[in-house]
Amino acid sequence: QSFNRHLHYTLVKDRNVATTRDYYFALANTVRDQMVGRWIRTQQYYYEKDPKRVYYLSLEFYMGRALQNTMLNLGIQSSCDEAMYQLGLDIEELEELEEDAGLGNGGLGRLAACFLDSMATLGLAAYGYGIRYEYGIFNQKIRQGWQVEEADDWLRYGNAWDKARPEYMVPVHYYGSVEHGADGDWSKPCKWVNSQVVFAMPYDTPTPGYGNNTVNTLRLYTAKSPNSFNLGVFNTGDYIQAVCDRNLAENISRVLYPNDNFFEGKELRLKQEYFVVCATLQDIIRRFKSPNHPTPSTPKVAIQLNDTHPSLAIPELMRLLIDIEEMEWDRAWKIVVNTCAYTNHTVLPEALERWPVHLLEMLPRHLEIIYIINQKHIENISKHFPGDMDRLRRMSLVEEDGEKRVNMAHLCIVGSHAVNGVAAIHSKIIQDSVFKDFVELSEKMGEVNKFQNKTNGITPRRWLLLCNPGLADLIAEKIGEDWPKNLDQLRELTPLIDNPAFIRSINQVKQENKMKLAGFIEKEWGIKVNPASMFDVQVKRIHEYKRQLMNAIHMVVMYNRIKADPNKDFVPRTVMIGGKAAPGYHTAKMIIKLINSIASMVNNDPIVGDKLKIVYLENYRVSLAEKVIPAADLSEQISTAGTEASGTGNMKFMLNGALTIGTLDGANVEMAEEMGGENIFIFGMKVHEVEELDRRLKSWGGVMSVPELKTALDQISSGYFSPLEPDQFQHFVDNLINHDRFKLLADFQSYVECQDRVSEAFKDTEQWTKMCLANIAASGKFSSDRTISEYAREIWGVEPQPDLR
């Protein structure tokens, strides 16, 4: 009835025929209706009880599609299925019409989305804050083997899930100058004057918990020009230009910067970072001051900074407390530090944000505040390490060598009460090397537990229940329906490893998922793949440190082996690679081109047949991951040890019963601990061996000693895979041999030997499937519910309340 009512109001007078998109919106609005009552009640409950609130600040939220996830979390999926069936509609077809909300680049943005799901499921009074980009991560097209970017106009048909809240619009200021008090003291209340203003208009998206009545809010801001924008030009009569110039202000929320693990110091990006921080903090303080609440005796706010992108929250909160609330410095600083916490996501130096001072001058008051914070920080270091000038230089927030810059990670560490890495090995690297000086200072100051680890996790709702219903049903038959809220219960599957009937069922579900994906690949890209072959999958952003190139060279090795002896026994493989390259990252784009060049030769060679197929998964995104991951046999997690902070795709494959080939990097280390080393394929150098190799030599000279590697590199370099442009990859290969920063060549022999063990293992279907079940049973630790419970108790000072309200 609800669906028909929505459909009726959709069909305007002049159009009596409904399109499938009309049906999609009718269904989405029907599902949303089921959620709004709970949403209002949840927010009312928070208003009355006034718990401590958690604010998760992130420049990225990679949400994907909302329809199926909302039905699942509200417990109405089967009712909706049934209703659509009775109306003669295919619910899957409607679900496919929804655009992904692609407001993130990869891991960091998808982590934020999983965290929102867990925070609601655990009943935390939590809010996500970010930017409602008009254009999300670009759509990737592959043309003649090259990546081509197209704008992601995800709002073209409207968005069924968010609601504009113009009543909470707030101003955001840039530029101008600062007027100081009579004594000229920067640390006392000042006035920021003659600034340019932009308005931040909030849009609220409900985020429902699973199987409870909690519905939290993700508030994303869009930039709006003030009506008075530039209308001073009325005097010149150029009214049209004045209205067109409104775009300049509104460009702030126009597009997501498409860089992953790379800092590009652009003015617009800095404006975006301040935009979200400024709007968010005004909202936090407005809610804190709500007339319903007397002055609290306990802390009421926790702010989590997702990487350094929202680091300006620290000087902005200082500005508000000092200039607006007229608090004295030391009291304000104590509040800021006790409120803020910082998550570090990378140790790659090129990814660390270091903003040139000349750009930060667009925020004149914040720059002053940063200078005062730094001055007091330097005095503090001098007190604990007198005379250590080198330490002062290393730890300063302001870098003076070359262009004057502010190191935002240092600002975050100094301005937060907790700093965490995202996997045990990453947190150790942070503490032992990258931020070692800060750890030593923290110890001298008697700070307890400032540097912590919080291993990432994934939501088992989207990443098993939603994307792999066949496996979810099998699990529920054996251990009940409670595991999606308590993933540790998967351990109860362990005894079933010796149950042949259950092992056959697990394998059957995997085969069905593979058949379905094979059908999709043929329909989408016209490539016929062998569903009995091993589905060998590497999906993630394209980056040299993730070593998709090593995978590509292994493809050439397999191809050469088949060509050398076509009649020899060969375990058939379908190698799938998917992921986007940042538009300005030339090397990453060359890697995509190389993979596609190899693919076009291999896939069209009749001698190879269906022994080896290579598929580039164009436009990899959340909704495609939901199709690919349940069908994978082998998950490639092959970054150089010490470079991948955690990884979360690794966990999704593990949960869905794929086996991992990987290095001891990121969360792979903890995955191996949980499942046992016999259920994972580990190869390559460890962190200390990589460091040792770095100390000894800059490039690895052993190419000649690995014949298969030398042959493959010669073929690529000489144009074997690019006959129309024989020298296309020559410079590329030379560069690899002479500057192999990520130790691909040094790890290659170990990788190939490990891949041979994988092929051998795959021949024994029963034993392979037992290993898959061991993976599934051991994946409980990697639920984002566990991660968020640790943040809640150990950083935010709140207690999860997952029960029904």
Catalytic residue numbers, as ranges: 345, 540-541, 546, 648, 652
> What's the rounded Cα separation, in Å, for the pair 617 and 540?
11
Could you give the 3-state DSSP secondary structure of residue 638? coil
- 218 and 283 Cβ atoms separated by less than 8 Å: no
Strands 191-193 and 177-179: antiparallel
For 588, phi then psi, to 5°, come to -65, -40
Helix locations, 107-238, DSSP H: 107-121
Q: Can you state the percent helix, strand and coil of the chain, rounding each to 5?
A: 50, 15, 35
Rounded distance, CA 70 to CA 216, Å? 12
Strands, E assignment, 344-477: 354-356, 398-399, 405-407, 418-421, 451-453
Strands 534-539 and 634-637: what pairing?
parallel
Detail the DSSP E strand segments found in 105-234: 126-131, 139-143, 146-150, 163-164, 170-174, 177-179, 191-193, 196-208, 215-224
Q: Which parts of 184-328 fold into alpha helices (H)?
A: 239-244, 246-250, 267-288, 313-319
**In this structure, are strands 612-617 and 573-578 parallel, antiparallel, or unpaired?**
parallel
Q: Decide: 356 and 403 in contact? Cβ < 8 Å.
A: yes
Q: Is the CB of residue 210 less than 8 Å from the CB of residue 472?
A: no
Q: How many CB atoms lie within 10 A of CB 434?
A: 18
Judge whether 416 and 342 are in contact, CB under 8 Å: yes
For residues 725 and 727, give the distance between their C-alpha atoms in angstroms, rounded to a whole number. 6
Residues 6+ positions from 800 with CB-CB distance below 8 Å: 122, 123, 124, 788, 789, 792, 793
Q: Are 196 and 177 in contact (CB under 8 A)?
A: no
Residues 173/192, Cβ–Cβ less than 8 Å? yes
DSSP string, 72-84: HHHT-HHHHHHHH
Query: What burial class does residue 1 get, using C-beta atoms within 10 Å of its C-beta: 0-12 exposed, 13-18 middle, 19+ buried?
Result: exposed
Which of these, 319, 362, 244, 215, lies nearest to 805 by C-alpha position? Answer: 215
Half-sphere exposure of 445 (CA within 13 A, CB side): 18
Report the alpha-carbon distance of residue 382 to residue 398 in Å, rounded. 16
CA atoms of 161 and 25, how far apart (whole Å): 10
Instruction: Kindly list the strands in the beta sheet with 398-399, ordered across the sheet, starting from the edge strand earlier in the chain.
Output: 354-356, 405-407, 398-399
Q: Is 309 helix (H, G, I), strand (E, B) or coil?
A: coil
Q: Which two tokens stand for residue 177?
A: 């100058």
Q: How many CA atoms lie within 13 A of 61 on its CB side?
A: 26
Nearest to 490 by CA among 779, 151, 256: 779
3-state DSSP assignment of residue 172:
strand
What long-range pairs does 380-383 form, CB within 8 A, spacing at least 24? Answer: 380/441, 380/445, 381/441
